[in-house]
Chain A
Amino acid sequence: MNTFQQLGRYALTSFQRLGRANLFLLVVLAGIPGLAMRVRLVVQQIFSVGVLSLVIIVVAGLFVGMVLGLQGYNILVDFGAEQSLGLMVAMSLVREMGPVVAALLFAGRAGSALTAEIGLMKATEQLSGMEMMAVDPLKRVVAPRFVAGVLSMPLLAAIFSAVGVMGGFFVGVGLLGVDAGAFWSQMQSGVDFHEDVMNGVIKSIAFGVVVTWIAVFEGYDAVPTSEGVSNATTRTVINSSLAVLGLNFVLTALMFG
């Protein structure tokens, strides 16, 4: 009986949280039009969410592209098709690796920071203070961060893919001696702009919404103690990473299935 009660309680709290998260998202979305008057707030947040994530994205993209170049070459050379290396590197980056890995890194770098920041604001009662001054913290604090995250994510994913292709190019053409013309020509004839590049961009926008939503909600919903904030930060990274991977499967099945 006790186990069933625990299971029931767990299910109920989970559904409650889900419902709160959805209501929260609606309120945040309703607050977005008001940001047209406060563009500076969004710019400030794009700086802390996007610009500060740039280094990790560029370095990771370069290494992922270089590894794809090495591994792809070793596989393709067995079939005498090493000239398709560019196509393979670009396809994997643009369709999958770019949006997904960039979103995972984004969750770790920017998502956790968002949760910790909002959670600490709550723990130190800054959010209550704003409410006292008749400033809606959802509009003043959460909405700009949400918009900044959604805007930054596709840009970061595009930078990741572009840098990764360059990394694959350095390894494939510079190190392994694949013909540069074949590298680019096979890539260009194989990768379609609407089919591959745009679908990757759509994916990264979806990931941006999911990761930022989870991050700001966990922060806003955190238990206002130091332990609560630390738990919320952990949950942000875990939940948004899992959400990205799961959503990626669904989107891939819909787009390319």
Chain B
Amino acid sequence: MKNTRLVETLVGVFVAAGIAALFMLAMKVSNLNAFSSDDGYEISAQFENIGGLKVLSAVSVGGVRIGRVASIEFDQQDYEAVVTMTIDPKYNRLPTDTSASIFTSGLLGEQYIGFEPGGEEEFLQAGDSISLTQSAVVLEQVIGQFMFSKASEGAGE
């Protein structure tokens, strides 16, 4: 047999590559992953309604991406969603009264968090939370309210 050792090594590499590919499909492509590798500092914010915001969605100021959503949880005390964001460490001069809102990019696009910097002299540190927040606009609710107000207008006349 020709060079058994080489053959066996190559087969080993092949099997390892196949398992690695499956592992990548599990961890990176599908939703089986538990870790995020971004480094940066974390700040959190509470929203009444986050709409379609997802983990890894963008966090931006003035349209420039400065971080990502690290985790989304539900606070049972306040009945609000707690969104933890990882911010790029080079953007460390966000005022403490920065407000966070959830926007949609385009009519059907991804949802993201937009920051509106305030005027305070102090800056947000790791672990801080943003108190000024604005929930996502849920299109169905807006349409529902619009229809309802139209109907009540019609009834009033």
Q: Chain A: residues with CB nearer than 8 A to chain B? A: 40, 43-44, 46-47, 50-51, 54, 79-81, 83, 90, 94, 152, 154-156, 158-159, 161-163, 165, 179, 181-182, 184-189, 191-193, 196-197, 201
Contact = CB atoms under 8 A, between A and B. Distances in A.
B32 interface: yes
Given A184-B28, A185-B55, A83 B110 contact: yes
Contacts, number: 115
Contacts of A90: 29
A184 B32 CA distance: 13
Interface stretch (B17-25, B76-84, B134-142): B17-25
A155 B107 contact: no
A188 B32 CA distance: 8
A28 B99 CA distance: 69
Most buried by A among B1, B65, B105, B109: B109
Contacts of A189: 31, 54-55
Interface residues of B, number: 37
Contacts of B18: 154-156, 158-159
Given A46-B14, A155-B19, A162-B24, A186 B29 contact: no
Q: Could you tell me the dominant secondary structure of chain A's interface residues?
A: helix
Interface of B: 1, 4, 7-8, 10-11, 13-15, 17-22, 24-26, 28-33, 54-58, 65, 68, 105-110
B32 A193 contact: yes
Contacts of B17: 54, 155, 159
Given A81-B109, A185-B54, A197 B29 contact: yes
A40 B30 CA distance: 35
Given A81-B106, A155-B21, A165-B24, 13 more contacts: A46-B15, A80-B109, A83-B105, A83-B109, A158-B18, A158-B21, A163-B21, A186-B110, A188-B29, A188-B30, A192-B30, A192-B31, A197-B29
